[in-house]
A and B are shown apart, each in its own frame.
Chain A
Amino acid sequence: MGPAPPHPRFQRDLSPVGRGVLRGTIAPTDIQPQMVESIVPETAASGPAVRLRGVSKTYDSGVTALGPLDLDVRRGEFVSLLGPSGCGKSTALRIIAGLASPSAGTVEVSHHGAEQRGRHPIGFVFQEPTLMPWATVRDNVRLPLKLARAPATGADTRIDAALDQVGLAEFAGAYPRELSGGMKMRVSLARALVTDPDILLMDEPFAALDEITRFRLNNDLLALWRSLHKTVIFVTHSVFESVYLSERVIVMTARPGRIGAEFRITSPEPRGEEFRTSAEYAAFCREVSNALAPSYAGQAGA
């Protein structure tokens, strides 16, 4: 019967966009991605995981928040988008996820592997944990599988595995309110991992956490990235976090966000706490900070 059917989300992308009338009042769930997004089956194994071409976002008010933006993210790469608030870096992430539609440009997200219920090419982690307060940790992590109507057998194993990866195996039965901020974030991460995504999109996930917790989560995220070989696009406004985590840091300009500078963070792997205090790390941070400074020029209090 020919190639495997496209993933549900991308199937829906092919539906006509006919809801323009109520655009201003529709609920967030009703936002339909436009047809520009396409999915590229794995043909060239070395092809980019994500490819943006001329992507921009202009709001109805006429304000251009983003772009035009060209971006290629290699499969398995850890990339940070670094920029001042309002530079459209979160918008770029939402566009890649299909949660927002670009005003212009094309987005290609490639994925590999056979279609399987409960597998999803993209995992998304928001700035807030964004957990369902009425559901236990286990049921929160189960959500993507439940929505995909994945068979119950096997789901539990995958949930256990995901919780294990983030070190929360003992808290499966807890409710979100019983957890600390860092633990909630781990649940959010487990939920993103449970579908075994190719690409992990993270929107300032650790911004609201205290420093010690953030450092710990940084290290755990790096360990996960190394063992799971995911492509990670990480949005942050912290120079230090971006340098610590990434292979590549993309510094964005102030609104409308474009690529201002790019840095390859070459450092011996695996990184750990000693990297955080090394002269090399400090030098990278200084360079990236200098590149970021113009983005803040003209902003009051900068």
Chain B
Amino acid sequence: MKSPQDLVRFLLPVAVFAAGLVLWEAIVRAYGIQPYVLPSPLLVLKTLVADWPVLSQSLGVTLLTTLEGFVAAAIGGVVLALLFNQSKWLEYSLFPYAVVLQVTPVIAIAPLLLIYLQQQTAVIVCAWIVAFFPVLSNTTLGLNSVDRNLAGLFQLYGASKLQTLLFLKLPAALPYILGGLRIAGGLSLIGAVVAEIAAGSAGAGSGLAFRIAESGYRLNIPRMFAALLLLSLAGIVIYGVLALVSHLLLRRWHESALGKES
């Protein structure tokens, strides 16, 4: 299965990454750059290990926020799309506001939300605002791309609205919904980070974004990099998990999940 070309495709970015790290380390050493200006990769790694108790706790906080925002966005986006699909009037009334929420930068909304909501709630709402729109618009697109003749067949056999939804519209929309969720996963992390930075609170419930801001103020640049590294890894893992779920759900039938050979 693994052809030489696949191997090259995998090795090339890894090689670039390694070369970048080596170059970075070399420059920091050669010019004697201070850690508070630019820490070396090794130092970042050491800091990550040394500060693990603090950072891991923050990672947990951020991941939990992201998860809550993501779940809310997934449910909210799909449910809203289903409601819009059932009632044109509802769609006409509400869709413009969904767009407004989407195009207004969340970083500008976050401070307002923090005034009116409890901090933990506000952070989740921020993650939700950023993440729900792709789910909503993708699900809407999916529900509208049902095969015309299949819909006719359901009509011929006297299918109820619920049957049509469960056995036709939702399965047909599934690939689109999963596409929306994949985007929403990354976006809910962004929403959580933005809200944490806007909130800027210290203490036990502080997420990774807060650690980055805090380390910045204290010129603890190695920890800043370490926290950033963790955030980046979290984003990659979220995307990977969602892509895997999508693949597992679609692999038997959908074009996007089929190998090139079939």
Q: Which A residues form the contact surface with B (CB < 8 A)?
A: 7-9, 12, 22, 25, 27-29, 31, 94, 97-99, 120, 122, 124, 126, 128, 130, 132-135, 143-144, 146-148, 175-177, 195
Given contacts A132-B168, A134-B174, A175-B252, contact A124 B156 (CB under 8 A): yes
Once the chains bind, are A126 and B262 in contact (CB under 8 Å)? Answer: no
The verdict on A27 contacting B167 (CB below 8 Å), with A133-B253, A134-B174, A175-B253 known, is no
Cβ–Cβ < 8 Å partners of B171 in chain A: 132, 134-135
What 10 pairs between A and B have smallest CB-CB spacing?
Answer: A8-B158, A130-B149, A147-B157, A29-B151, A9-B158, A28-B151, A126-B149, A147-B159, A133-B253, A134-B171
Closest residue of B by beta carbon distance from A11: B158
Pair B153/A28 contact, Cβ less than 8 Å: no
**Residue picked from A9, A27, A148, A176, most chain B C-beta under 10 Å:** A27
Give Cα distance in the complex from A27 to B84, angstroms. Answer: 13
The answer on a CB contact under 8 Å between A132 and B150 is: yes
Can you identify 11 A-B contacts, CB atoms within 8 angstroms?
A: A9-B158, A22-B88, A28-B151, A29-B146, A29-B155, A98-B155, A126-B153, A132-B150, A143-B153, A147-B167, A148-B157
Given A126-B149, A177-B262, check contact A133 B168 (CB 8 Å): no
CA distance A147 to B167 in the complex (A): 9
Given A12-B158, A97-B156, A98-B156, are A27 and B149 neighbors across the interface (CB < 8 Å)?
no
- Please give 4 more A-B residue pairs, beta carbons under 8 A apart, in addition to A99-B156, A135-B171, A147-B159: A22-B88, A27-B144, A124-B152, A146-B167
Q: Are A134 and B149 in contact (CB under 8 A)?
A: no
B260 sits at the interface (CB 8 A): no
Task: Tell me if B46 is interfacial: C-beta within 8 Å of chain A.
Answer: no
Query: What residue in chain B is nearest A131 (Cβ atoms)?
Result: B150
A18 to chain B, nearest CB (A): 15
Q: Is B232 an interface residue (CB 8 A)?
A: no
Kindly list chain B residues whose C-beta atoms are within 8 Å of the C-beta of A28: 148, 151-152, 155
CB distance from A261 to the nearest CB of B (A): 30
- Whether the Cβ atoms of B156 and A122 lie closer than 8 Å is yes
Question: B151 touching A144 by the CB < 8 A rule?
Answer: no
- Name B56-105 residues within 8 Å CB distance of A: 88
Central interface residue in A98, A128, A143, A176, by most chain B CB within 10 Å: A143
CA distance A8 to B167 in the complex (A): 19
Q: Are A27 and B158 in contact (CB under 8 A)?
A: no
Chain B residues with CB under 8 Å of A99's CB are 152, 155-156
Residue B147 at the A interface, CB < 8 A?
yes
Q: Is there contact, CB below 8 Å, between B158 and A29?
A: no
Question: In the complex the two chains form, what is the Cα distance from A28 to B153 in whole Å?
Answer: 10
Task: Please report which residues of chain B, range 132-166, place their CB below 8 angstroms from some CB of chain A when the two chains form the complex.
Answer: 144, 146-159, 163-164
- Which chain A residues lie closer than 8 Å to B154 at the CB level? 29, 147
Q: Name, among A29, A31, A94, A128, the residue most crowded by chain B CB atoms within 10 Å (CB to CB).
A: A29
Beyond A25-B88, A28-B151, A99-B152, is A134–B157 a contact (Cβ under 8 Å)? Answer: no
Indicate whether B254 reaches chain A with its CB closer than 8 angstroms. Answer: yes
Q: Which residue of B is nearest A21, CB measured?
A: B88
A133, closest chain B residue (CB): B253
Q: Is B21 an interface residue (CB 8 A)?
A: no
- Cα–Cα, bound, A147→B159 (Å): 6
Query: Distance (Å) between the CB of A207 and the closest chain B CB?
Result: 14
B156 lies within 8 A of A9 (CB)? yes
The answer to whether B236 has its CB under 8 Å from any CB of chain A is no
